[in-house]
Amino acid sequence: MMKSPYAELLAVLSRHRGVVGSFVVSERDGIAIDSNVQIGVHAEAVAALAASLHRKARLACGAAGCGQVTFLRLDAERGGICAAGRDDLVLVTISEARANIGLLRVEMMRAAKALT
């Protein structure tokens, strides 16, 4: 089967310590275009909800006059979700609490620039 253009990018993100899943999602549709997730991650649900979250963050930043959203981080009890978007595409990662978010952020910002 042919690999998607995002397969390598997602594989790099998923190799980070504590990352349990990464996706490229269409913000408008809320559907994962490609994903690399561990067993047990409900990929479709996370993709749809994270895309909706990113869209609302983009609209909020626009309304507040802050400009484009560059990086979105959501911390939770046992981990978190990070998102970085470009045009209609959003790169999303799910991580455990032990993940190095700083390093992940750098990698995601770099990867988001490559999204087309």
Partner 1 sequence: MRIAVEAWMEDPLRRFIDDSRVRLVLLLETSGRVLAQHGFTRSIEVMSACALAAAIHASAAEIGRQLDGNPFTALHHPGTSRQVFLGELPTARGAYVLLTVFDDSSSIGLVKLYFTELGARLAAAAPAVAATAPAPSFIDFESDLNRNLAKLFGRI
Q: Which residues make up the interface to partner 1 (CB under 8 A)?
A: 25-26, 28-32, 44-45, 47-49, 51-52, 55
CB of 52 to partner 1, least distance (A): 6
Alpha carbon 32 to its chain centroid, in Å, reads 10
Element of type H or E holding 111: helix 101-113
DSSP-derived 3-state class of residue 40 = coil
Least spacing, CB of residue 1 vs partner 1, in Å: 20
Q: How far is the CB of 59 from partner 1 (least distance, A)?
A: 10
Q: Cβ of residue 11: shortest distance to partner 1, in angstroms?
A: 23
Q: Which is nearer to partner 1, 53 or 101 (CB)?
A: 53
Which two structure tokens, joined as six digits, stand for 45? 């649900």
Q: How far apart are CA 76 and CA 60, in angstroms?
A: 21
Nearest residue (CB) to partner 1, 45 versus 97: 45
Radius of gyration in angstroms for the set of CA atoms belonging to the chain, rounded to a whole number: 13
Query: Are the C-beta atoms of 79 and 95 separated by less than 8 Å?
Result: yes
Residue nearer to partner 1 on the CB measure, 29 or 75? 29
Nearer to partner 1, 44 or 96 (CB): 44
